[in-house]
Structure 1
């Protein structure tokens, strides 16, 4: 089973607790997620309560619905999501673990280290190079969208 892994880092002009809060506010991804460059069309939380370990969600993508859950949650420094795509017979074809590790830096900034892991199964393994390019583009778009959302955030004093 091919495993695709990579890390993307961005420094975001906001305190770590605000960045973490935005990352775990599943139902509001559409407010900051770019419309172009991503297959994501929307995300909704499917379990009740505040987001935490075990919270479930569904991603609405160009390719259909993808269920997932939160598999690591350490506020305000780490969150890891897990999603999977299954065949109609229930066999997993692909699964991913997008994770975020946050650390405070100078001047109320946050270093976000986004690690992504993607496992492919069955015929999907043959397309591993294509999936790698797609995943890297997708995750870079997400990180750039997250960063941009704070650059234009009216709740941030002194910024547009």
Structure 2
């Protein structure tokens, strides 16, 4: 079975360093994803120190708790997360690799290309078409929320 893969792209009205910092601030996701319709209820970094390859986290979603880690990090242009779900018996059922590829598009703008990669295992492969729709919807909410979080900051209150 081939992985489920897709790309989304957004122009974010903020410098590349600020966009990168927001993406790697795992617990900061709680601020800009709150109230967006995302499956994510909250996230928590579970390893000490600044974000780096190997930094671990736990996402609490509407579907349960999902561990993850940062598997690639090249400031300020790339961050790749890896998360996985396991059955009660300990078998991996689904894995995901959401990645963010950033390119400066001027002093105050960043092009964010989000690549979603999802691999269902075992019986979960039968649900691949539905999993793809869910993943695209969830990741669209995420990149739209990232984009909107910078708009909210620049809007006079």
* TM tier relative to shorter chain: over 0.9
Check the 8 A contact 1:2/1:120 in 2, yes or no. Answer: no
Distance in 1 (CA, whole Å) between partners of 2:20 and 2:29 is: 13
RMSD over aligned Cα atoms? 1.0
In structure 2, the partner of 1:82 is: 82
TM (norm. structure 2) is 0.96
Runs of 4+ in 1 over 2 A off after TM superposition: 34-37
Gapped runs of 5+ residues in structure 2? Answer: none
TM (norm. structure 1) is 0.94
Verify: 1:92 aligned to 2:92, yes or no. Answer: yes
Distance in 1 (CA, whole Å) between partners of 2:41 and 2:49 is: 23
In structure 2, the partner of 1:46 is: 46
Gapped runs of 5+ residues in structure 1? Answer: none
Q: Secondary structure at the match of 1:18?
A: helix
Please list, as runs of the form range in 1=range in 2, the aligned pairs for 1:142-153 lying within 5 A after superposition.
142-153=142-153
Cα offset, 1:92, TM superposition: 0.3
Cα offset, 1:3, TM superposition: 1.1
Check the 8 A contact 1:45/1:55 in 2, yes or no. Answer: yes
Distance in 2 (CA, whole Å) between partners of 1:81 and 1:73 is: 9
Cα offset, 1:34, TM superposition: 4.3
Cα offset, 1:30, TM superposition: 1.3
Check the 8 A contact 2:36/2:145 in 1, yes or no. Answer: no
In structure 1, the partner of 2:12 is: 12
In structure 2, the partner of 1:141 is: 141
Check the 8 A contact 1:41/1:62 in 2, yes or no. Answer: yes
Distance in 1 (CA, whole Å) between partners of 2:85 and 2:27 is: 20
Distance in 1 (CA, whole Å) between partners of 2:37 and 2:2 is: 24
